[in-house]
Structure 1
């Protein structure tokens, strides 16, 4: 999970665009529903499903995706699905990818890769005091 602070909230026709700050990093969430606890400067824990994380050795430079530059710290290779554990300065997280993609991209432990999470995949797991 990622500890962050809500920086801005934009709402139009019950669609919410939320910007979070984590040190110098920004993350974005697109949500149809937003808890009434959500407010500017509210600290939260963010999460996303490992299956919603895409990996690339190259920077896709897409401003609509949340981008993490992270080091591969562990790999759990299965016959169909491979779990890649990653770490950067703000969190440790996992990406679930097909073993076909894993082998094709030749990901290795200690490689640095770009991980992408679409704003609609990010969610607030917990509101902190």
Structure 2
């Protein structure tokens, strides 16, 4: 979990697009529900499922807004799946990838986080 500030909220046909500022940079979240207490300027705690991350060695040329650089801190290599510990600014997090794709420690990777993968875990 990490702290973020709500910058802007757009809504259309029961779909909410929330623009947030965080230590990972500017992020966007899509949601079908939004607590009435979440407003511009409000601080929240964000989370995501570690299995929802996509890693890239080069800047991805795809239609996504949630992309940031992270450095590989450690690797727990498994037979089929490996756990990669990453750090972006001061935020540490893990993701799982196929063991035949394991990066090296200190590699810098682009992390892509889908807008529907983010969720608000707490309103501060």
| TM-score in terms of structure 1 length | 0.89
1:13 — aligned with what?
13
**Segments of 4+ moved more than 3 angstroms:** none
1:38 aligns to what SS in structure 2?
Answer: coil
Structure 1, unmatched stretches of 5+, are none
Q: How does 1:37-76 map to 2 (within 5 A)?
A: 37-76=37-76
Check if 1:33 corresponds to 2:33. Answer: yes
Number of paired residues? Answer: 124
Q: How does 1:80-95 map to 2 (within 5 A)?
A: 80-95=80-95
The Cα of 1:88 is off from its aligned counterpart by 1.5
Q: Is the 8 A contact 2:14 2:33 kept in 1?
A: yes
Tell me the distance in 1 between the aligned counterparts of 2:50 and 2:90.
Answer: 16
Structure 2, unmatched stretches of 5+, are none
Tell me the distance in 2 between the aligned counterparts of 1:84 and 1:121.
Answer: 18
